[in-house]
Amino acid sequence: MQRRIIFPRSHLSYSSGSEKVVPGLEKIWLATYSGKFETWFMPPLNINSSKTVPAKPAPAVIFGHGNAELIDFCPEELKGFTRMGIGVLLIEYPGYGRSEGSPSQKNISHAFNAGYDYLVSRKDVDPNRIILFGRSVGGGAVCALASNKPSAALILQSTFTSVRSFASSFLAPGFLVRDPFDNLAVVNTYTSPILIIHGKNDDIIPFSHGKALYEKCLKGKLIVYDCSHNDCPPDYVIFWKDIETFLTNIGIIT
């Protein structure tokens, strides 16, 4: 029951062709013990020509989507990164979309670790400028990755402190939660910069979670928008400007 609530994958449908909006997009299949999973790599763009940049080391983002999303939904909205000269790796959760297996913290963590290893092996990616970006439950995926692999920055959008904090919704005590995703513990020990983005009217993951995460950061920045959960961010122009400013200030882009 917990996993049906946290990972409502049976309600999602995907359509082929959504990747066509991204020039040069690559589809890569990787594998863990739980089966093959799908990843898409969006290469950086030359902002002057809207063409893919020649292969040379560039920063890259690993993105973890929300629990009611698929990677098919994400390319268009994440093109803000490619316009900044940053590549994007979309990792599909096990059991979601075309990926094999079933979603759990363990299986998702194995997939994200394998995706990370693939990404840093690419000659066109700078392994010292890896950004981890998670939205909603995707924050749990990238925080788990941040606890195992080095990265230059962490961005958490509309993310919870831990799944255990929602244990009452499962009518269960916290120690029975099977996929705890303890993000609070991760940000408390993460030594690179962290950007926390949260809607002050979030009706799914209350703003108090974003505030608590920020207060535990060693190097944190908090951006609050006047919005809820599913309409965050309310203005993508402002959103991308905020992210660009953050990444510029910490030296990942110039």
Number of structural domains in the chain: 1
In a domain, 46, yes or no: yes
CATH of the domain at 237: 3.40.50.1820
Residue whose structure tokens are 């803000």: 80
Mean pLDDT by 10 residues, the chain (254 residues): 61 58 88 95 74 76 94 93 96 94 92 98 97 96 97 97 72 59 95 98 95 97 97 97 98 95
**pLDDT tens digit sequence for 144-187:** 999 999 999 999 999 999 987 776 655 555 555 666 789 999 99
In a domain, 254, yes or no: no
In a domain, 33, yes or no: yes
> Which of the residues 109, 136, 151, 158 is marked catalytic?
136
Antiparallel, parallel or unpaired: β 153-157 and 125-135: parallel
Spatial CA neighbour of 95 closest among 82, 86, 108: 108
Q: Are residues 178 and 104 in contact, defined by beta-carbon separation less than 8 angstroms?
A: yes
- 235 is known as an active-site residue: no
- 229 is known as an active-site residue: yes
- 136 is known as an active-site residue: yes
Distance CA 254, CA 248 (A): 6
DSSP per-residue letters across 86-115? -EEEEEPPTTSTT--S---HHHHHHHHHHH
Domain that holds residue 65: 2-249
> Which of the residues 72, 179, 182, 202 is marked catalytic?
202
Distance CA 50, CA 128 (A): 25
| Residue 29 identity (one-letter amino acid) | W
